Amino acid sequence: MRRQRKVKILATLGPASASREMIAKLFRAGADLFRINMSHTSHDRMREMVGLIRDVEKEFGRPIGILVDLQGPKLRIGEFAEGAVQLVNGASFVLDSDPTPGTVERVYLPHPEILSALRPGHTLLLDDGKVRLKTTEATGNRAVTQVIVGGKMSNRKGVSLPDTEIPVSAMTPKDHADLEAALPANIDIIALSFVQRPEDVHEVRDIVRGRALVMSKIEKPQAIQRLDEIIAASDALMVARGDLGVELPLEMVPGLQKRIVRGARRLGRPVVVATQMLESMIASPVPTRAEVSDVATAVYEGADAVMLSAESASGEFPIEAVSTMNRIAEEVERDPLHRTIINAQRNEPEQTGADAIAAAARTVSETLDIAALIAWTASGSTGLRIARERAEKPLLALTPNVSTARRLALVWGVHAVLTDDARDEQDMVHRACRHASRDGFAQPGQRVLIMAGIPFGTPGATNMVRIAVVEGEDAEGA
């Protein structure tokens, strides 16, 4: 199951794809890891889906990552006496703490934290931005607004606040319960919604305590203001373009996508580009040309993974969506321009021994025409460091920890292999060559570059580089 591309594919599971048979077909078509959206999934169903993925993992003998996506706060207005009203441009409209059913003049806002945080001049977006209001007066339990863009408004529509930092945790009681259910199920990544500040990430990390990676979804304007701090606090990032495009002008989203991807790459954090990548394939067996270009842009940019949402969760053509994304990625990575762009965006290594060795390994692999880079890694940090270099040569990560192998399914270019830790240097070289030969990364007579930490099994201690030649017996013993 060697992939012919380096960018990874994250597929969301749902009604159209949550059977064991479909998960296996999606994996065969190109999915490297799977997303379970807790907005639509019970705890029992989540555990059942994890079990199905692990069955498929055993069938194919390849580590598969599982991402559980927390719902986050859902901010909504109350209900109207008539079920809906028509808001007219220029009219005054009040949001208040009175639970009485609303009228064309006012509506209940059951979020005191919003009312206390609003200030004159702040914008409110209702129903995914279809209606736009501007605050003219705010008293703590009542906000008077002017309708800037009117339209029909009905019960329980969502509220977005691009100008307002809301003093509320990114974790709701539901999220806490979902997280406590997911961690014992041995999932690999927790995606955190509604991140506004690095403290939101620290709160989750204190609960997770290393049992999973913590991925911050960048979907709020407030997160952009503290982006570098949030990236530093996170294990991984997601460019959640859907919500970003609601709370910010649409024309800003492409530039922000590039900024987030490059910021994550600079700090060596895996980054996923998500939302509407092949949206038309929910109902069509082929994508639009614009969608193909959108996926290609993320691959050219060097994102670690591209994500399918409803396309694989509830669409009519989930397998076709994955295979289409797979073909786009393979074609882009064959383009000589792809390597030119990737090289132009390379960052200077951090001033640590492990980072210096990773950068040197990439240079040596290109100078000597090495067939593959092979990293022995217990925690995954060595694999991450080398992936940050975006080397042209294939990268194998050999690890004794199944959780590490699964987490590396998210990381650009990494082909993770579960194996016993090396006993000594000779065993390290022999088994590295054997795995490279067995999985089709090197032929007898070709050279491979091996990185490891001595003493073996010490996390984060990458301090050795060894060049070895794959012998015929390595291929025979594979």
d(CA 156, CA 326): 39
DSSP-assigned beta bridge partners for residue 415: 396
Task: Return the structure tokens found at 350.
Answer: 């951090």
Q: Which residue has the tokens 């670690």?
A: 304
d(CA 85, CA 229): 42
- In this structure, the number of other CB atoms found within 10 A of the CB of residue 386 comes to 32
Beta strand 395-399 with 414-418 is: parallel
Q: Which class for 66: exposed (0-12), middle (13-18), buried (19 or more C-beta within 10 A)?
A: buried
Beta strand 236-240 with 372-376 is: unpaired
Q: Which residue has the tokens 């509604």?
A: 194
Active-site residues, by number, are 35, 76, 217, 275
| φ, ψ dihedrals at 284, nearest 5° | -135, 140
* Residue 136 · residue 122 · CB < 8 Å: no
d(CA 223, CA 233): 12
The angle, 0 to 180 degrees and rounded to 10, between the axes of the packed helices 173-182 and 198-208 is 40
d(CA 329, CA 241): 19
If phi > 0 it is left, if psi is from -120 to 50 it is alpha, else beta; for residue 380 that is left
| φ, ψ dihedrals at 166, nearest 5° | -90, 125
CB-based contacts of 429-435 (< 8 A; 24+ apart in sequence):
429/466, 429/468, 430/474, 431/398, 432/374, 432/376, 432/396, 432/398, 432/468, 433/468, 433/469, 433/470, 433/471, 433/474, 434/474, 434/477, 434/478, 435/374, 435/396, 435/398, 435/478
CA distances from 41 to 44, 71, 151, 412 (A): 8, 10, 32, 28
